[in-house]
Amino acid sequence: MKIRAAIIPAAGIGTRFLPLTKAIPKEMIPLIDKPTIQHVVEEAIDAHLSDLFIVIGNNKQAIVDYFSSPYEHADLLKEKDKKRLKETLENRIAKATIRYLAQPKPLGLGHAILMARTVIEPNSYFSVLLPDDILVGTEPAIGTMAQLAKQNNAAVIAVQEIPQEKISAYGVISIAEQLNHDLYEVSCLVEKPKKENAPSNLAIVGRYILPHKIIAILDSMQGNSGELQLTDAIQKLIETGEKVLAYKIPHKRFDTGTPHGWLEAIGHFGLNDLR
């Protein structure tokens, strides 16, 4: 099983950062010297995912320009011997092909993934990385998850332990079986449960390895009113008999989709730069 494709949904409006996001896509808000979306693009590349698809909506041209345009100061960087920075800006990103898919309206994560229906190879697995979730660790989380998917012929979702008072903001797994200290088989998923009804304290945190079969499931759910939720589609996947595993990631996570999480990330990356 070869996993090549990575879907990066970036069509959200960014209401928590208004009025700034009227002018700047939230995915382009910087963490010191890089926009947030570059961190997940680099994670995908470090995991040897070669086909990247960024799902964009209106007012997201800055993302396209950032990854598509030659860096105008490249010669100056070369003259000043800023080799590492130039490699980050150009050579590293060049290891993958980045393409863009339009999502006319932000109708949920499931709908964003459905925009990739024509580019995902049949009978393959693909990855999904949410740019709000920045993961810091020794290895790219999505790469470990891809290996687990290959070894178990199963879908894999990333989870972390979340305090009970915050659990109602997440999709939460119910455990069928604990396979080892950081891997679980999932029996069902509950989207944003009340804290007293949460089946566990393990919440989904923005990384997925999914089978092509999920596309047909999402397609069949389109007639429902409201947003198309990926959690609901994964639950239907489980109900068809497909194995879904949850990997408890050891990484430090920053939810940069909130001002508080963004500030925490700024503190982390700023201190690392000083070191």
Q: Is the peptide bond before 193 cis (omega within 30 degrees of 0)?
A: no
**pLDDT confidence tier of residue 13, bands split at 50, 70 and 90:** confident
Q: Between 95 and 121, whose confidence is greater?
A: 121
Q: Are 230 and 217 in contact (CB under 8 A)?
A: no
Distance CA 129, CA 168 (A): 21
Q: Residue 41 has which token pair?
A: 């693009």
Distance CA 109, CA 130 (A): 9
Across 69-78, 135-144, 148-157, least confident range: 69-78
- Note the pLDDT tens digit of each residue in 156-204: 999 999 999 999 999 999 999 999 999 999 999 998 999 898 999 999 9
Whole-number pLDDT of residue 86: 55
Burial of 164 (0-12, 13-18, 19+ CB in 10 A): exposed
Q: How many helices (H) and strands (E) does the chain have?
A: 9, 13
CA angle, 114 as apex, 111 and 116 as ends, to 5°? Answer: 135
Distance CA 266, CA 250 (A): 20
Cα separations in angstroms, 214 against 111, 114, 126, 208, 232: 12, 9, 10, 12, 10
**Torsion sign, CA atoms 154, 155, 160, 166:** negative
- Note the pLDDT tens digit of each residue in 230-273: 999 999 999 999 999 999 999 999 999 999 999 999 999 887 76
Whole-number pLDDT of residue 87: 58
- Note the pLDDT tens digit of each residue in 103-116: 988 899 999 999 99
CATH number for the domain spanning 99: value is: 3.90.550.10
Whole-number pLDDT of residue 71: 55
Distance CA 78, CA 85 (A): 9
- Note the pLDDT tens digit of each residue in 39-91: 999 999 999 999 999 999 988 999 999 888 655 555 665 655 555 555 555 66
Whole-number pLDDT of residue 272: 73
Q: Between 36 and 87, whose confidence is greater?
A: 36
Number of domains in the chain: 1
Dihedral Cα 13, 14, 17, 18, nearest 10 deg = 10
Range of the domain at 56: 5-274
